[in-house]
A and B are shown apart, each in its own frame.
Chain A
Amino acid sequence: MRAVICLHQGERYALPLPLVRRVTEVSAIARVPRVPPVILGVMNQQGRVACVLDLGPLVGLKARPARPEGKVIMLQRAKGDLGLYVSEVFGIETLADETTPLPAPSGAARSTVASPAGPLKVIDADLLSRAIDQILEA
């Protein structure tokens, strides 16, 4: 399994590669009024408006404001452009297929996988898509 390894609020996560379209710098994020805190705002992405969400609430953490040194992982979705704000992106790694379920699953993070730099929380693609859809539909 190939995944993009990222860091958010001190936790290392493994986001499956098929979900990722590209990784960009955090440009000017325009806040959108009357939206939940998980939605950080919208940004210009190659001439198109992309919605930016905070990964924290999607994996069971609290929402925090974006910082300029962070990264935005643009997801491969059919329903418009959407990006996840993370603190850092380390790169692409090939992980073992065997995962270990988390004793206390939180959000889209359901299992862990071993890596040379330590265990990673694996984000489930379906759960993530459903959580994003629920947020956007709400």
Chain B
Amino acid sequence: MATRATQDHVRPEGPESGRLGQEAGRPAPVEPLRAITRPVMQPLPLSRGRTAPITVARGVAKTVGLFRKILIGDLTLWLVLTGVLTYEVVRNHLPPEHALIGAVLGLIVALAVSVGLKQVANRVSRLNRSALEISRGDLSKPLATERASFLGRDEVDELTTAIGNMQENLRELVGHIQGTSRSVADSADEMQESSANVSASAENIERSMARISEGAEHQLQLVERAHELIQKIAVSIQSSAQTATSAADTATATSTAAQAGGAAAQLAAEKIKKVFAEIEAASETVFAFGEKTQEITKIVVAITGVAQQTNLLALNAAIEAARAGEYGRGFAVVADEVRKLAESAGKSAEQISRLAHEISQRSQHAVAAMREGIDELGQGREDLARIILSLDEIVHATQTGNERVQAISVAAKEQLQSSAEMVQGFADIRGVASGNARSTEEILRAVREQAATTASMAQASQELTNISVELQTVVSRFKLE
């Protein structure tokens, strides 16, 4: 019963003893950060627990005082015992030797009691000193808890054992508290350093996320702009596809028209060949006419010469007739008529010559024009041949172009479909980019909140460091070695 009382005294029940028991025996559960970051000036549970050794010392002091009173009353006790024995001897009418024997026995008992009490007082005194040292925080001196006695263990021994257990528990508790406070201080320092690192990292992440957010916004703008451009391109591609289809139809019509043109050109070439032949025949006729005209000119020249000679002969005949006088008058008339005929022939020949000259000039012009025309026709024939060849090439090129335009039309249709898919894809990309921008904003807000939390955690770690320092300061009052 005394042991349980001592144990109860050493480990008083209550909230504080429970907290101490938890801190000394088993690991305390991790408290929330708010609980750790309470004000430093708040009294700690350990400060209240520190009153337990004082209470024990006071109890021990009271016990020592009681035993002093007992030692002071040794003589009184002997006197009382002797008086009682004397009274019993007298009342029972016993012999006086009995009273002496009783007195001696009483004295012996009183001395024994006194010696026992002195020993108890010494032990209590040592306990008192130990309690005082414990109350001063010196837990380095071990307490002698065992005593060899034939009488067995008494309450003082139990008290000594309890105080020893208390000292050992306090040593263990204080050592554990010192280690824990150092660990807490180290952990707080590490946590503070980690908080600083986390804060720096959070700031970097915040800046990076701000840049990422700006980039996401810019990306969203670019994607929207690209989406608009893609839509315009899609419209242009659609127009190109329609144009390509129209061009394919036009190319088909052109190919057909070119083929028809080629056939018509062939027919035209055949007809032009006939025209060439007719013109060449006509030119031969014109050339022959020109030659005939030159012959006429020669004949006219000859006639003119004859007329001139005739005129000259008529003139000379007239001169001779005039010289003949009356005899030559009839001859003069004839000569004059001949001269007139010659003049008439000369005038006619001159007219014929002019006509022949004019005809010759015109025929020469016609011949020259014919020759130029033939030359032109020759060139035209060559040009026509080249045109026909070109038309054949055009037909071939048109067919090739038609095939290519058809291919372009097909490709444009496929491109149109692809552009529609591309527009849809860019719309999806825009949605994703918008989602990314919103997510980035949310992440940025979360990072900022995290940064604020990290700052709070750094502050809390600083407070925890202060608390651990204070705890170390408090615990340093206890001397363990």
Identify which of residues 1-32 in chain A touch chain B, using a CB-to-CB cut-off of 8 Å.
2, 4, 17-18, 20-25
Q: How far is the CA of A92 from the CA of B317 in the complex (A)?
A: 11
Task: Report whether B322 and A2 are in contact in the complex, using a CB–CB cutoff of 8 Å.
Answer: yes
Q: Does A91 belong to the interface (CB within 8 Å)?
A: yes
Q: Which residues of B contact A2 (CB under 8 A)?
A: 322
Q: Does A89 belong to the interface (CB within 8 Å)?
A: yes
Q: What 0/1 readout, one digit per residue, does chain B (285-321) give for beta carbons within 8 Å of chain A?
A: 0000000000000000000000000001001101110
Q: How far is the CA of A76 from the CA of B296 in the complex (A)?
A: 40
Task: Report whether B315 and A23 are in contact in the complex, using a CB–CB cutoff of 8 Å.
Answer: yes
Task: Report whether B312 and A92 are in contact in the complex, using a CB–CB cutoff of 8 Å.
Answer: no
Q: Does B227 belong to the interface (CB within 8 Å)?
A: no
Q: What 0/1 readout, one digit per residue, does chain A (69-82) give for beta carbons within 8 Å of chain B?
A: 00100001000000
CB-nearest residue of chain B to A22: B316
Interface hub of A2, A22, A24 (most chain B Cβ within 10 A)? A22
Q: How far is the CA of A4 from the CA of B315 in the complex (A)?
A: 9
Task: Report whether B339 and A23 are in contact in the complex, using a CB–CB cutoff of 8 Å.
Answer: no
A91-B312 in contact given A2-B322, A17-B322 (Cβ < 8 Å): no
Task: Report whether A4 and B319 are in contact in the complex, using a CB–CB cutoff of 8 Å.
Answer: yes
Interface hub of B315, B320, B339 (most chain A Cβ within 10 A)? B315
Cβ-defined partner of A25 (8 Å) among B312, B319, B320, B339: B312
Q: Which residues of A contact B319 (CB under 8 A)?
A: 4, 17, 20-23, 92
Q: Which residues of A contact B315 (CB under 8 A)?
A: 4, 23, 89, 91-92
Q: Which residues of A contact B323 (CB under 8 A)?
A: 17-18, 76
Q: Which residues of A contact B339 (CB under 8 A)?
A: 91
Main secondary structure of the interface of A (DSSP, over half): strand
Task: Report whether B316 and A92 are in contact in the complex, using a CB–CB cutoff of 8 Å.
Answer: no
Q: Which residues of B contact A23 (CB under 8 A)?
A: 312, 315-316, 319
Q: Which residues of B contact A20 (CB under 8 A)?
A: 319
CB-nearest residue of chain A to B315: A23
Q: How far is the CA of A4 from the CA of B318 in the complex (A)?
A: 10
CB-nearest residue of chain B to A25: B312
Q: How far is the CA of A71 from the CA of B312 in the complex (A)?
A: 10
Interface hub of B319, B323, B339 (most chain A Cβ within 10 A)? B319
Q: What 0/1 readout, one digit per residue, does chain B (327-358) give for beta carbons within 8 Å of chain A?
A: 00000000000010000000000000000000
Identify which of residues 41-57 in chain B touch chain A, using a CB-to-CB cut-off of 8 Å.
none
Q: Which residues of B contact A4 (CB under 8 A)?
A: 315, 319
Q: Which residues of B contact A71 (CB under 8 A)?
A: 312
A23 vs chain B, min Cβ distance (A):
5
Q: How far is the CA of A4 from the CA of B322 in the complex (A)?
A: 11
Q: How far is the CA of A91 from the CA of B311 in the complex (A)?
A: 9
B315 vs chain A, min Cβ distance (A):
5
Q: Which residues of B contact A18 (CB under 8 A)?
A: 323
Q: Which residues of B contact A22 (CB under 8 A)?
A: 316, 319-320
Q: Which residues of A contact B316 (CB under 8 A)?
A: 22-23
Q: How far is the CA of A2 from the CA of B318 in the complex (A)?
A: 11
Q: How far is the CA of A16 from the CA of B226 in the complex (A)?
A: 119
A43 vs chain B, min Cβ distance (A):
15
A127 vs chain B, min Cβ distance (A):
21
Q: Which residues of B contact A92 (CB under 8 A)?
A: 315, 318-319, 322
Cβ-defined partner of A24 (8 Å) among B312, B318, B320, B322: B312
Q: How far is the CA of A24 from the CA of B309 in the complex (A)?
A: 9
A58 vs chain B, min Cβ distance (A):
20
A87 vs chain B, min Cβ distance (A):
15
CB-nearest residue of chain B to A2: B322
CB-nearest residue of chain A to B321: A92
A88 vs chain B, min Cβ distance (A):
11
A28 vs chain B, min Cβ distance (A):
17
With contacts A17-B323, A23-B315 known, what are 12 further pairs, Cβ within 8 A? A4-B319, A17-B319, A22-B316, A22-B320, A23-B316, A23-B319, A24-B312, A71-B312, A89-B315, A92-B315, A92-B319, A92-B322
What are 5 of the A-B contact pairs (CB < 8 Å)?
A: A4-B315, A4-B319, A76-B323, A91-B315, A91-B318
Question: Chain A interface (Cβ within 8 Å of chain B)?
Answer: 2, 4, 17-18, 20-25, 71, 76, 89, 91-92
Across the A-B interface, give the 5 residue pairs with the lowest CB-CB distance, nearest first: A22-B316, A92-B318, A17-B322, A23-B315, A20-B319
